Amino acid sequence: MYDTHTISFPGLGIPEFTVNETAFTVFGMQIKWYGVILTVGILSALFLFFYNARKREGLPEDHLYNVALFTVPIAIIGARVVYVATRWDIYRGDFLKMLNIREGGLAIYGGIIFGALTVLVYSKVCKLSFLKIADAVAPAVMLGQAIGRWGNFCNGEAFGSSAHVETLFCRMMVDGRATHPTFLYESLWNAVGLVLLLFVFYRRKKFDGEIFFLYIGWYGFGRTFIELLRTDSLYLFGNVKFSVVVGICSVILSVVGMFVLSRREKHLRAEPTYTAKFRAASVEAVPDERLAEEVAAEDAENAENAENAEESAAEKSAAEPAEEEPAAEPTEESPSDETPPQE
């Protein structure tokens, strides 16, 4: 028997409809919509990561597949580990139940943390820029999250409640109960963040790591408030919600990271070694139109300043009176002014 849920959005004029958790069956095995949607989210994230890494960051293509091959499964394992750890009273002593991911149970922050650590280790071993890879990954993860949250919708989970939810215009009725559609809040929050990252901040990127820390701050800030509405949260201890604590820490980490990297970039630009030749090499490695235009403008300005300096020097030289050359001393061969004596 399939698990079904009756859902409606009365405030939006959407009448009741039924959602089945199971998408289809294969040899008697139920394939859940949650797994299907999560897979679509992961594949979409991978395509966006490959595009960002190649076109925006200029990373070696061979390494991109290795990063994906290691990061995706480890991130899933991390999401499961954190979920089990925060529900230890349920899974204690039942190792097989811990491994049974088909019953659900993934903590997105666990996936982000384990995934970031995997990228960090791989970049150190292969001598790649962790911050460049992280910048390419961040929007991809946000896309995957925006899509993946609809798996919670099909499972009839990740909803919230509050004192006045019954009068909320966007309230969601799930099996006769009024709820906050927190899965929808988070999906939309990620969608807006994705647009900002790709079409605003990435085009004006000033230093490596900027996109990564913006993602952490944006997601952590939104998730903190959304989590306060949820009734199915993971808890650290007592009434302290895991995702609220991690969300606050994410915002702090984002602010500190942006400040440190921004200061470092200013120092690098002030060093004599940060020359036009170095910037031109960076543009060749990273085909970014914005960066290319910026470098071209700086080089043109430098050339114009040099030309003005040469003209000023020439004008100054022409304005100074020419020095009188000293009279040549008479030599033995040169005629004397005195008349030689007559014999």
Structure confidence by residue, pLDDT tens digits, 50-63: 999 999 999 998 89
Average pLDDT over residues 278-283: 47
pLDDT at position 145 over 70: yes
How far is it, in rounded angstroms, from Cα 86 to Cα 110?
A: 11
**In the prediction, which pLDDT does 100 show?**
85
Q: Using one digit for the tens of pLDDT, what is the confidence trace for 71-102?
A: 999 999 999 999 999 999 889 888 888 988 87
Average pLDDT over residues 301-329: 60
Quick one: pLDDT band at residue 27, thresholds 50, 70, 90? Answer: confident
Of 162, 179, 161, the C-alpha closest to 170 is: 179
How far is it, in rounded angstroms, from Cα 149 to Cα 189?
A: 11
10-19, 151-160, 280-289: which range is least confident on average? 280-289
26-40, 103-117, 200-214, 279-293: which range is least confident on average? 279-293
Q: Using one digit for the tens of pLDDT, what is the confidence trace for 31-47?
A: 999 999 999 999 999 99
**In the prediction, which pLDDT does 101 show?**
84
Average pLDDT over residues 162-166: 83
The CA–CA distances, whole Å, from 234 to 33, 35, 85, 150, 175 equal 22, 21, 10, 19, 23
C-alpha 176 chain-centroid distance: 39
Q: For the chain, what are the domain ranges?
A: 4-270, 272-308
pLDDT at position 167 over 60: yes
Instruction: Specify the amino acid at residue 336.
Output: S
Quick one: pLDDT band at residue 341, thresholds 50, 70, 90? Answer: very low
Residue with the bigger pLDDT between 188 and 232: it is 188
How far is it, in rounded angstroms, from Cα 45 to Cα 141?
A: 6
**In the prediction, which pLDDT does 311 show?**
66
